[in-house]
Each structure stands twice: as C-alpha cells, then as structure tokens.
Amino acid sequence: MNLLSPNSFTLIKTDTTQLNTRITMNHIVANKWKWTIHGLAWTVFFGIGLVFFMGVYDWQWALFYSSLNISILMFLFYCNGYLIDQLWEKKQFLLYAVSFLGLLFITILIRWTINTHFLHIVPPTPVFSPQIRLLFFSITTTVTILGLSFFYRVLLNRYERERQYLVLINQHNEAQLQLLKNQINPHFLFNTLNNIYSLTVVKSPQAPKMILLLSDLLRYVIYESQSARVDLEMEITHLKKFIDLFQMRNEFPQNVQLQVEGDITHWQIEPMILIPLAENCFKHCDFDSNDQGFIKITISASQQGLQFNTENSFTESNQQKDKIGGVGLENIRKRLAMRYPDKHTLHIHKTTDTFIVQLQLPA
C-alpha cells in the first residue's frame, strides 16, 4: 500500500522544481564565468597583437590594426563554433571540413587584403619584409584560433551532454527516493486501524491517543521525510511513537527495548531509514507464539559514525513476508546505496531463532 496523497506528489514535484532551479542557477553562474574567461582570453590575444604590430607600425596604427584583427578572430572563433554545432555534432563531417577550409581561406584572404591594400605605412625594411611577416602572422593566428575554437566547442558540447545526462539521472533518483520514502508497511497500518476501530467501538480512552500517534507518524512519513536530511532526534522521536502504537495494540506490553547511546543532538540522517528497519522487527517477531519473544533496538552515536542495531526473536514457521508492497530490507538497501554510496555497512544475520540487523552510517 502506497500512502502517496496528491499533496505528496505536489511535494515531489516541488522538490524536483527546486532541483531544476538550483541546476539552472549553477548553469547561469557557469555561463558567467565562461564569458569572463572569454573576455580575458581575447584581451590577451589583443595584447599579443598590439605588441606585434607596434614592431611594424606606430602605436596609433598598431592599436587600430589590433582592434581590427581581434574582431576578425572573434568572428572566426564563434563562426566556427556555429559550424561545429550545425554540422560536426550532426555528423556531417565532410560538409564541415569543406566549410572549415572555406572559412580558413576567406579569413586569410580578408586579412591579407587588409594588410596589403589598406595599410600603407611601411617601416624600415627588417630581415623579413612586413608583407611576409603579416602573412605569417595572419596564417598562424587564424589556424590557431580555428584549432582552439574546434577543440573548445567539441569539449563544451560534450560537457553539456554529460551535464544534461547527470541532471536526468539526478531527477530520476530523487523521484525514486521520494517514492520509496513515502511507503509504510500495510500490515502494521491495517492492524493499527483495526485496533483503533475496536477501541472506538467500546469507547476506550486509548483510541484518541492512538489516532493522534498514527496521525503524527503518517505526517512524518508523508511530509517531513521529503527533506534530504532530518535530525536524528526527530527520527528517534517518531520511532518511539511507532513503538508506542505497537504496544497500545496489545493487551499487555511486549518485551521491546530501545536504547540510545551517545550525543545525538548534532546528527542528521536520511529520513525513514531507522523506522523501517525497526518495523521489520515488529513484522517478523514471534510475540504471538513465543512468551519469551523480544525486540531490542540500540542506537549509538560517536565520532566514528552512527550504529543502529536491531535484534528480535522469531520462529521460522511463523515467518511471513509482506507480498503487497511497502518498505522492506531491499527498499532500505536501495536507498542506502543512493544516499550513502560506499560509505555504509548493512549486515543481516539470521540464526534458528534470532534475526539481527546492523547498520553503520558515516559521521
């Protein structure tokens, strides 16, 4: 039985929206840094060109030509990026190669034409003539910019594809986690509701208290557990309510022990991890057939980590597994693997009459 109400789906949608907002903001910040780096890179190229041309012209013409030169190179860089997006990424390699060579030829031709026909200031003849030096500079910078543009754009597109893939994986994992967290064992819920019904029929004073406890527990399961982390104290508080509900279902209290050790005030954990493990004890414990039946739950917090142990008696012939759904050990394994990858240990031991679960979470 899945206790996901419309409000729960709204909360899941809200969490996904918040995740998308964070991703969008990170993307905006990344773009801001990208254009800042672009600006710095073009400033460096402009400075290199200015130094080069001041060796050929006076500083006024060097400044003018450097500005003209950097404008052409910027056009070349971003035009090639456009060709990569439109042709290379669509695997039209031959068409891209033709366009690339055409762009290279046209750019060199334009720069050579400007060099030889529009700029007539010629300094004293150096080892190489100004025309040869300008041609060499034009070819070198053009090829360099085209090469940088190609590798930059290809790597940027690859990064963007990987980022989008990770976003989809993250959204899927978040949605799956929310669905897993918003389940509770129907066996316990149905029995509790039946007991509440029986108590209301005889007008027992216990009925209102049971309803309040169940309401608080369900509120925590459906709403509070939407957070990525909750205070350990809150999880333990609702674990105690779970135990109280179980005890109130019985005419006489059962042998259930809960022991908390260490300082838990500053701990935060994944919500709805401890309660389902405890619930597993109550589901399989042999209280009905064993007068010596017991459940022992120990929570120990230290600088090394959080240790959560459960131990319960059980009889093999009475053991049953909930086939309807709900939270089970496999559910817990999946969530632990997603939230604490390679940082937790979960050991399950079964003897002829005892079932033990040991969970270790990182500090």
Q: 227 in helix, strand or coil?
A: coil
CA angle 349, 352, 357 (to 5 degrees): 20
Both 110 and 162 in a single domain?
A: yes
Q: Are residues 254 and 297 in the same domain?
A: yes
- The total domain count for the chain is 2
1 occurs within a structural domain: no
Q: In the predicted model, is pLDDT for residue 332 greater than 50?
A: yes
> 359 and 309 in contact (C-beta within 8 Å)?
yes
Neighbouring residues of 353: CB distance < 8 A, sequence distance ≥ 6 = 313, 314, 315
**In the 8-state DSSP scheme, what is residue 226?**
G
The partner residues of 106 in beta bridges, in order of sequence, read: none
Whether residue 21 is predicted with pLDDT greater than 60 in this model: the reply is no
Q: What is the tens place of the pLDDT at every residue in 256-280?
A: 999 999 999 889 998 888 988 898 8
- Judge whether residue 124 has pLDDT over 80: no
Report how far residue 332's alpha carbon sits from residue 358's, in angstroms, rounded to the nearest whole number: 12
| 354, two tokens | 């005892």
Instruction: Give the pLDDT confidence of 91-104 residue by residue, as tens digits.
Output: 888 888 888 888 88
Place of tokens 């509440």: 196
The answer to whether the predicted template modeling score (pTM) of the entire model surpasses 0.95 is: no
Identify the domain boundary among 178, 196, 220: 178
Q: How far is CA 323 from CA 84, 105, 187, 320, 352, in A?
A: 54, 72, 10, 9, 23
Report the pLDDT value the prediction gives residue 6, as an integer from 0 to 100: 42
Cα angle 212-327-198, degrees, rounded to a multiple of 5: 35
Question: Domain for residue 65, yes or no?
Answer: yes
Token representation of residue 237: 């508080």
Residue 298 reports pLDDT greater than 70: yes
Same domain membership, residue 129 and residue 103: yes
CB 295 within 8 A of CB 311: yes
**Which of 161, 178, 195 is the last residue before a domain boundary?**
178
**202 and 330, same domain (yes or no):** yes
> Which ranges in the chain belong to alpha helices (H)?
6-54, 59-83, 93-113, 130-181, 186-201, 206-222, 232-249, 274-284, 329-339
Whether pLDDT at 176 is above 80: no
* 8-15 LR contacts (CB < 8 Å, sep 24+): 8/178, 8/182, 8/222, 8/223, 11/178, 11/223, 11/226, 12/175, 12/178, 12/179, 12/226, 15/174, 15/178, 15/226
Please tell me whether residues 204 and 334 are part of one structural domain.
Answer: yes
Higher pLDDT, 159 or 130: 159
Angle at 275 between CA 271 and CA 277, to 5 degrees: 115
Q: What is the pLDDT of residue 312?
A: 94
Same domain, 344 and 310: yes
Above 80 in pLDDT, residue 286?
Answer: yes
268 phi and psi angles, rounded to 5 deg: -130, 140
What pLDDT does residue 4 have? Answer: 38
Lowest mean pLDDT among 40-44, 75-79, 111-115, 279-283: 111-115
User: What pLDDT shows up at residue 251?
Assistant: 78
The CATH number given to whatever domain includes residue 248 is: 3.30.565.10
pLDDT at 41: 80
Which residue segment(s) compose the domain that 72 sits in? 6-178
